[in-house]
Structure 1
Amino acid sequence: MSSTPPRFDRSHTDDLISYLAASPSPYHATVSAAERLEKAGFRQVAEEDAWDGAGAVGGKYVLRGGALIAWYVPEGARPETPYRVIGAHTDSPNLRVKPVPDTGSAGWRQVAVEIYGGPLLNSWLDRDLGLSGRLTLRDGTTRLVNVDRPLLRVPQLAIHLDRQVNAEGVKLDKQRHMTPIWGLGDVREGDLLSFLEQEAGLRAGEVTGWDLMVHSIEPPAYLGRDRELLAGPRMDNLLSVHAGTAALAAVAAQGGPADAAAIPVLAAFDHEENGSESDTGAQGPLLGNVLERSLFARGGSYEDKARAFAGTVCFSSDMGHAVHPNYAERHEPGHHPVPNGGPILKVNVNQRYATDGRGRALFAAACERAGVPWQTFVSNNSIPCGTTIGPITSARYGITTVDIGIAALSMHSARELCGAEDPHLLASALAGFLAG
């Protein structure tokens, strides 16, 4: 499971830091990824347009809200040519603004929030928080907004008023204790929306819809004596989106896989953290529609689609668990992934991960091709295993799917931790998969 890894490319991790900082919401994450693909020669395709030319050689992408599907058609690709798909997701657990956002009590002005996904709630306490997301205007267009400065804070109760907190732990009620403050005075209806219209340079009353969320404004950073670790927000799972974007761009720069053996694809979905049931989630039809339309634009038939999907493979890339030094007993004793040990293969026989023996062989081949070491993750039998878009993709489209990722600590925290070399190693393995 090991080989001589490629020399640590800190420029990749530097770019990841920039990507994380520029992507406080799924909507920003897809735009930032699309900008990188545009620089690599990819061009956007509108879903509303006819796709007569979408089967031509080159890179294209579809952007829908918090989801992005990108693909590169190499010279010589046929209608029945299979796909190699990198799957990831753009959303992270956080606090999202409610439909009636203006609230408060005891002289404090607050913002009403709903808990999105499964965050570590205590990690959001006593942090300087910004606000970001998407505004929808009266004419139906959208505008991204990012207030990336100290604006909000969820204050923890002082120890003088909770004397047993260190002995008994922080006990947080999602409704009562997670409402951030953002000022003093009486609650005024429309206050937050008016503020955001000003921030976005819009006229009063122009915004009629919004999808807003809170984010930590502390920037990503190298950590440790030798800067061998990376700390940052939303690495679950923007780290995989960034790695997949880099891998697709690198393979496109080479003209695609050798002999046009496959069509490389990046599928970055939204809403994984709450079940993927949406028009931009992995359980929705977006990926299938894009792959089918691309195939039909190349003159394909239903029979060609069946042949292409039968040969398609997906690497579902999501974060995994490194062994926590303070809680080593929570991990499976025979499988101890470590930071900077290379990407991990995630296995669960109950299909919480989609990997099987054939998938293991495909992953091993991709890592060997890239010269990348790799590791295996299995959950402790006594602790329920999480899941990913992997089983969803496998079951929905009937394609071989392999669950992979990198080892990290503090998953679902407002600030997570991984090895600084692993993002580059993952991207290298993904490029090996797409090009092989």
Structure 2
Amino acid sequence: MTASCSMVDFNTGLLEFLYSSPTAFHATKNIAGKLLAASFIPLYEGDIWQLEPGKRYLVMRNDSSIIAFVYGKSPLLDSGIRMLGAHTDSPCLKVKPRAELNRRGYFQLGVEVYGGALLAPWYDRDLSMAGRVTYRDQSDQIASALVDFERPVAVVPSLAIHLDREANNARSINAQKDIVPLLLQLPAEDAALPDFRGLLHAELLRQQPDLAIKQVLDYEISLYDTQPPAIIGFEQDFIASARLDNLLSCFIGLQALLEADDQVSSLLICTDHEEVGSASCCGAKGPMLQQFLERLLPDGETRARVIERSMMISADNAHGIHPNFMDKHDENHGPLLNRGPVIKVNANQRYATTSETSAFFRLLCEAAEVPVQEFVARTDMGCGSTIGPVVASEVGVKTIDVGSPTFAMHSIRELAGARDGWYLYKAAVEFFSYSKAPFALISRS
């Protein structure tokens, strides 16, 4: 099937999605909005489900993970399920529960580092805050709402070079002391601190005046860079943005699923907490996907047979070979930006790719007229991982790990090729329209 979205239109939509998704909660809300606009039917986990072939569904968990399912008209035992997985979270700074600090009359917030963040780029950025706020309403019921301050409200100033002459040679960053955001200057050093929950309360009412908030009880708030995503480079070769890892893959999966063939069954799952191990009720190591499949196929034997006929593409960004640090890559496995999606391989199962899943993906790319690359880490260096091995081990589905090559992964502003997301989207469209069980071509003699 030919992808309908041009590269220009794809990247325009991608930049809008990145800009409007400062947290996993906002990303999930935006994905759900696109699906609802395309007539996907919302499901609620506490309800009884009656799923029907030919219809499209979505279900969310924790406001930060989502499954979208195209229930194809072809029997599941004939075609299996085409699955594509990504994750909604990104490394960041998260505000602590008792965050208020007064340091010499400056109001600051204590933060935790979420995931394996590259900390140095957080300095001297115009930062805002966004996330989920849970409150007591006027009827003393608990409710939640999303908030996004949008405007720059915080900064982490660097220490001047005059006070740290070794800053360019041997500077280390203490996450407890050195990366504390500054919000405002108090009228006096001994002045009372603003109540952060009160600030959240006021901001929610400013944005949603009809919200019946009696008391803010708790929150999950992250800081983010307000600089918008952009197409950059002398020839517009690159996309620069926060959260490319891994909202780029979420957007790829979403756009491809919106074009999925109604004859076969396709599933998109975007889960939270990958950056901290996926071990949560809404993470890939949790039961969300398994429980969805159990409700779709209550009979265990039928479910096992369908899973055997299915395949998962785990999409997460790959490390492009950095021209300033080429020795950090294996000499034969340094993916280039704008040269196509990367098949990620690791002998120790940090990636779930097998020869069969990679062979099938190569056929998809060939059919979509998309170039393909490979990544293997240097044998003397460690290797990252993603949701692929987790889903493969929890569900038992054959899986491949792929991704768009990226620079500055886990920085506050990452860099990807302007063509690579579109390339992977084209391959995903081909995947979601493949009419047979993915491994029907493989001889088992």
TM-score w.r.t. the length of structure 2 is: 0.91
For residues 360 and 79 of structure 2, the distance between their equivalents in structure 1, rounded to whole angstroms, comes to 18
- Aligned pair count reads 419
**Cα drift, residue 153 of structure 1:** 0.7
For residues 270 and 129 of structure 1, the distance between their equivalents in structure 2, rounded to whole angstroms, comes to 22
For residues 336 and 219 of structure 2, the distance between their equivalents in structure 1, rounded to whole angstroms, comes to 40
Q: 1:204 to 1:224 in 2, by over 3 A?
A: same
1:230 equivalenced with 2:239 (yes/no): yes
Q: Deviations over 1:104-160 (max 9, x none)?
A: 311110011101000000011110100000011222221000011110111111111
Question: Where does 1:26-425 land on structure 2 (aligned, <5 Å)?
Answer: 26-52=24-50, 54-64=51-61, 65-78=63-76, 82-138=80-136, 139-168=141-170, 170-185=171-186, 186=190, 188=192, 191-201=195-205, 205-251=214-260, 254-256=261-263, 260=264, 263-296=265-298, 301-425=299-423
For residues 48 and 6 of structure 2, the distance between their equivalents in structure 1, rounded to whole angstroms, comes to 44
Could you tell me whether the CA contact under 8 Å between 1:103 and 1:187 is conserved in 2?
Answer: no
Q: 1:98 to 1:80 in 2, by over 3 A?
A: farther
Unaligned runs of 5+ in 2: 206-210, 435-445
Q: 1:187 to 1:275 in 2, by over 3 A?
A: farther
Unaligned runs of 5+ in 1: none
Q: Deviations over 1:218-251 (max 9, x none)?
A: 0000110111110000000000000000011111
Q: 1:359 to 1:78 in 2, by over 3 A?
A: closer
Deviates further, 401-410 or 304-313: 304-313
**Cα drift, residue 388 of structure 1:** 0.5
Letter in structure 2 aligned against 1:264? S
Residue aligned with 1:326, SS: coil
What is the aligned-residue RMSD (CA, Å)? Answer: 1.7
**Cα drift, residue 187 of structure 1:** 6.6
Deviates further, 203-212 or 219-228: 203-212
**Cα drift, residue 7 of structure 1:** 9.6
Could you tell me whether the CA contact under 8 Å between 2:341 and 2:372 is conserved in 1?
Answer: yes
Residue aligned with 1:268, SS: strand
Q: Deviations over 1:63-98 (max 9, x none)?
A: 112100111011233477521110100000000011
Could you tell me whether the CA contact under 8 Å between 2:102 and 2:193 is conserved in 1?
Answer: no
Could you tell me whether the CA contact under 8 Å between 1:312 and 1:400 is conserved in 2?
Answer: yes
Deviates further, 177-186 or 18-27: 177-186
For residues 338 and 149 of structure 1, the distance between their equivalents in structure 2, rounded to whole angstroms, comes to 35
Could you tell me whether the CA contact under 8 Å between 1:409 and 1:417 is conserved in 2?
Answer: yes
Letter in structure 2 aligned against 1:413? S
Q: Percent identity?
A: 37
Letter in structure 2 aligned against 1:140? I
Could you tell me whether the CA contact under 8 Å between 1:80 and 1:305 is conserved in 2?
Answer: no
Letter in structure 2 aligned against 1:210? Y
For residues 78 and 270 of structure 1, the distance between their equivalents in structure 2, rounded to whole angstroms, comes to 27
For residues 417 and 375 of structure 1, the distance between their equivalents in structure 2, rounded to whole angstroms, comes to 18
For residues 114 and 106 of structure 1, the distance between their equivalents in structure 2, rounded to whole angstroms, comes to 22
For residues 80 and 372 of structure 1, the distance between their equivalents in structure 2, rounded to whole angstroms, comes to 27
Deviates further, 286-295 or 238-247: 286-295
Residue aligned with 2:152, SS: strand
Q: 1:23 to 1:287 in 2, by over 3 A?
A: same
**Cα drift, residue 205 of structure 1:** 4.6
Q: Deviations over 1:31-87 (max 9, x none)?
A: 1011111222212111111102x2342110101121001110112334775211101
1:22 matched residue in structure 2: 20
1:11 matched residue in structure 2: 9
**Cα drift, residue 163 of structure 1:** 1.1
Q: 1:6 to 1:336 in 2, by over 3 A?
A: farther
Letter in structure 2 aligned against 1:58? K
Could you tell me whether the CA contact under 8 Å between 1:102 and 1:188 is conserved in 2?
Answer: no
For residues 80 and 433 of structure 1, the distance between their equivalents in structure 2, rounded to whole angstroms, comes to 16
Could you tell me whether the CA contact under 8 Å between 2:317 and 2:404 is conserved in 1?
Answer: yes
Letter in structure 2 aligned against 1:332? D
Could you tell me whether the CA contact under 8 Å between 2:153 and 2:183 is conserved in 1?
Answer: yes
**Cα drift, residue 209 of structure 1:** 1.7
For residues 295 and 367 of structure 2, the distance between their equivalents in structure 1, rounded to whole angstroms, comes to 31
Q: 1:237 to 1:22 in 2, by over 3 A?
A: same
